[in-house]
Amino acid sequence: MPSTTEKLAIFGGHPAVPPGLMKNWPPIDTDDEQMVLSSLRGGKLACGPNVKAFGEEWAAWNGNRHAIVTNSGTAALHMCVVACGVGAGDHVLVTAYSWSSSATCIIHHNALPVFVDIDFDTINIDVDKIEAAITPRTKAIVVVHLHGLAVNMDKVTAIARKHDLKVIEDCCQAHGARFNGRKVGTLGDCAAFSFNQNKCLCTGEGGAFVTDDDEMQARAAQLWSFGETRTPHEDRDYHAYALGWMYRCNDMTAALGRSQLRKFDGYFSIIRENGAVLNERLAGVPGLILPTEPDGHLHNWYNYTSRIDMDAVGWNGDPVRMRDAVMKALQAEGVPVGTWQRFILPAMTVFRAKNAYGAGCPWSCPNAGPGVEYNPAAYPVAQKHSDTHFGMTVPLRAPNRTDVAEKVADGFLKVFGAVDQIDPDKVLG
């Protein structure tokens, strides 16, 4: 354990994490290279055979009947909205703190997002506040398994059944996470995954829509490929039967996905081992609020997100200033922390302006009904989290192992052991 009297790196001391120790994600080996080269030389670079195969393999791995590989998790989320029959003027509940796509996917199909504040401990939607947010126009709930921790789906599905609502799982960060032994993506009506650079399964860019429902799969597939009723893997008539997009994945990306999927269980074990080191070493550190893993949940530690207890560190000024100063001190120690999302969703201009398509649509469209308001002050827990959090991904990922996690823990202990020396005005200028 580092000495609490050791000079912080930000003040000229030696960093806790030696330069060059930490390796980038994802590991790329000869199997990945061979899969991509075979696709490149195979002559079908668009929506080719690897796209179909990757969808089948992802469905089998996750436990779904259907999977459609997409060009992004955002596309998959839009497909979920359409699959659930959400349309113009409908309301969809969603967490007040997430990536923008968790809510803009609702606007994509002329429906209106209705935000629900978060639970501070889990950072997920506060399931006890969902029912109060339901309106006569509510059609669905988007539950975001944020940073790799599943929402309490027992409570969500009970509410959904009571009010006849569809449940969309945003699993873009939650590959392999479980609730009561079941994988995310199998707990709602349909779900979306992302495979972009930062995710625990990486194809560069990409995603997948999954469901067990045949009709939902058909509606999603129609949106995915130009509004047609036949996919590129079938004999197409090239007739647009409904409004559609071009959300398909390319063959080389899918080839990399297939190769990475074969190694994913090993990656998952590594990230769990590294997370366990951090949880053990950092437990009880004054001023540091660690991420939680409630009973019945299996976290995938996609983003190891911590918060600062401002009272415990004796700071009563702007929490963002102290958070940023502590984060800068951690970065100087070689700990690659960063803020994932500095804005709660209801504060973002796209929602506040209520003018996504011009002329105020979809909020002012004739069938929109009574107005939906977006007052950031109505989501104090989300704001508190946003102002005090920082997270990290790479130290927990392969090829980094527990020796890296130990050094990262040393960096945290060093900084929080000397947090009283950190003056935001001096550190940030």
CA–CA separation, 103 vs 94, rounded Å?
A: 7
Tell me the Ramachandran region of residue 289: left when phi exceeds 0, alpha when psi lies from -120 to 50, beta otherwise: beta
Helix (H) or strand (E) holding 91, with range, is strand 91-95
Residue 5 pLDDT: 65
Q: Which residues contact 164 (CB under 8 A, 6 or more apart)?
A: none
User: Pick the residue with more confidence: 59 or 361?
Assistant: 59
> Are 162 and 79 within one domain?
yes
- For the segment 145-169, the average pLDDT, to the nearest whole number, is 98
DSSP state of 409: H
Residue 1's pLDDT band, with cuts at 50, 70 and 90, is: very low
> Are 218 and 94 within one domain?
yes
CA–CA separation, 301 vs 29, rounded Å?
A: 23
In a domain, 21, yes or no: no
Residue 260 CA: distances (Å) to CA of 5, 98, 109, 264: 44, 26, 32, 6
* pLDDT greater than 60 at residue 3: no
Domain limits for position 418: 263-341+384-428
- For the segment 263-281, the average pLDDT, to the nearest whole number, is 98
> Are 249 and 288 within one domain?
no
In a domain, 84, yes or no: yes
> Are 155 and 298 within one domain?
no
Count of residues in the chain = 429
Task: Yes or no: say if 157 and 131 are a contact pair by the CB < 8 Å rule.
Answer: no
Tens digits of per-residue pLDDT, 183-196? 999 999 999 999 99
> Are 79 and 96 within one domain?
yes
Number of H helices, E strands in the chain: 14, 13
Residue 299 pLDDT: 98
Residue 108 pLDDT: 95
Q: Which two tokens stand for residue 4?
A: 């609490």
Q: Which of 262, 288, 309 is the last residue of a domain?
A: 262
CA–CA separation, 68 vs 59, rounded Å?
A: 9
Task: Yes or no: say if 401 and 273 are a contact pair by the CB < 8 Å rule.
Answer: yes
> Are 66 and 104 within one domain?
yes
Tens digits of per-residue pLDDT, 339-353? 999 999 999 999 999
In a domain, 357, yes or no: no
In a domain, 355, yes or no: no
In a domain, 350, yes or no: no
**Whether the model pTM is above 0.85:** yes
Residue 4 pLDDT: 54
Q: Which of 262, 292, 316 is the last residue of a domain?
A: 262
> Are 223 and 90 within one domain?
yes
> Are 91 and 177 within one domain?
yes
> Are 160 and 109 within one domain?
yes
By CB neighbour count within 10 A (0-12 exposed, 13-18 middle, 19+ buried), where does 139 fall?
Answer: buried
E strands of 133-247, at which residues?
138-144, 166-170, 178-179, 182-183, 190-194, 207-211
Rg of the chain (C-alpha set): 22
> Are 34 and 169 within one domain?
yes
> Are 151 and 276 within one domain?
no
Q: Which two tokens stand for residue 99?
A: 């990536």
Q: 3-class DSSP state for residue 289?
A: strand
Tell me the Ramachandran region of residue 227: left when phi exceeds 0, alpha when psi lies from -120 to 50, beta otherwise: left
Tens digits of per-residue pLDDT, 62-102? 999 999 999 999 999 999 999 999 999 999 999 999 999 99
Closest by Cα among 339, 337, 335, 329 to 418: 329
CA–CA separation, 194 vs 147, rounded Å?
A: 12
Give the residues across from 298 on adjacent strands: 178
In a domain, 12, yes or no: no
If one counts the domains in the chain, the total is 2
In a domain, 372, yes or no: no
Tens digits of per-residue pLDDT, 13-26? 999 999 999 999 99
Q: Which of 207, 237, 262 is the last residue of a domain?
A: 262
CA–CA separation, 405 vs 25, rounded Å?
A: 15
> Are 208 and 245 within one domain?
yes
Mean pLDDT of the chain: 96
In a domain, 2, yes or no: no
> What is the domain-level CATH number for residue 267?
3.90.1150.10
Percent of the chain that is helix, strand, coil (3-state, to 5): 40, 15, 45
Q: Which residues contact 369 (CB under 8 A, 6 or more apart)?
A: 89, 137
> What is the domain-level CATH number for residue 170?
3.40.640.10
